[in-house]
Structure 1
């Protein structure tokens, strides 16, 4: 029979292995080339940088710092510098492109502060 120490050791080892595996599956993001096309805006990554991000009510909540992707030619996310006064914290966050919508000339992020707080921090 197994004693409690053995069972606890197996559980801890399994948990650590699972965490390591999940971490290894996380894809590192890189800055994309300025000429990379972004279909959402029908323009390139350079045009997307420094654009304002708005909430669903149309209030500016931040701006795009960098366009990121799995390689220099594939944009998948943006690094957003959120306005401190907007209530989203003062860290830059990595926001997936599919979380943004173009409404006329405004980029809209419908996520609330709690959802944004769960996004990865971007360290430039």
Structure 2
């Protein structure tokens, strides 16, 4: 079986080899690596109200915003509602529809990774 370095090597410097498909060595796994510690979607405000209102928003705003300037005049369907300024748990900002925009799923994932520090990006402060 092929091996790879423990997935925590960037955070902790752990350089133990693990057999695929495992991602973490036994020591890092025992320390809680790989466990999802985020609160539930509803606890992060994405509840029935959000599902209803975001669906209505997409129906009223069906064209995706070109936030990266890469659509080159082509129109794409808005697939997800994005918060222009990250709400970081602020209910007022979360529900402020002037802070919403429709994005393609791909653009939303890219924007979120850039803002929240995914894929090796540093987390941006503020929003």
TM-score w.r.t. the length of structure 2 is 0.30
Identify the structure with bigger relative contact order (alpha carbons < 8 Å, sequence gap 6+). Answer: 1
Higher strand share: 1
TM-score w.r.t. the length of structure 1 is 0.30
Higher helix share: 2
